[in-house]
Amino acid sequence: MEKLLERFKRFKTRERVLLIAAIIVLFYIGIDRMAITPFLKSITETKERLETQQKLLTKYRSFVTNKKQYETRLNDLEQYYAELKDKFLSEKTEDIASAKLQDIVDELADKIGFDVARSTVLKKEIINKNPYLIAISINVEINDINSSQKLQSFLHSIEYNNDILLFIDDIRIKTLGLSAVKGATISSTFTAIASIEMEKKS
């Protein structure tokens, strides 16, 4: 220690001032890194947590305020689902539901006087897992259509079916001429909602 003091005394006044200033700067840098910076970081993190909690509290208050409105909306949706549920296909497996949809479309076409030339099951889409609901689709091709009125009746029987909820997703009509209907061919995709009772997939 004495040797350090002797060396320090040998420095000129200007050098002593610069050395002391450098020591003070290093001292403050050390304090900043060890105490001030972590403290400021902690304050920032605390502020962010408080802001997040404030946002959650605001959302919670909004939910409490509009609770009755949400409950009414939920009841309406549950009632709407209950009404639609009766129009879903209800089968034990997806394959049985797809076959049932093909049978329904065949019967509707037969009532109009159309013969289904080809019916293909398409990829299924999971709508909900509990209860297990899927959208099943089939592509149907009907040839030798001889009446636009019959075609209109057939499509109407699909879209406005009172027993099963059916959708026409796509339809393509090929005719022999610019305005000819006789001999036309339609290729259409029909979709129904199926509720699978036994076989459930994760």
Report the pLDDT value the prediction gives residue 20, as an integer from 0 to 100. 66
**Enclosing domain of residue 52:** 2-63
pLDDT of amino acid 107: 92
pLDDT band for position 103 (50/70/90)? very high
Q: What are phi and psi of 161, to 5 degrees?
A: -70, 130
**What integer is the mean pLDDT of 148-164?**
86
Residue 97 and residue 133 in one domain: yes
**160-164: long-range contacts, CB 8 A cutoff, minimum separation 24:** 161/108, 163/87, 164/87, 164/88, 164/89, 164/104, 164/192
Better-predicted residue by pLDDT, 108 or 10: 108
Asked whether residue 45 is assigned to any structural domain, the reply reads yes
| H or E element at residue 143 | strand 132-145
Do 145 and 190 fall within a single domain?
Answer: yes
- What's the CATH number where 103 sits? 3.30.70.60
Residues 26 and 123 in one domain: no
One domain for residues 109 and 190: yes
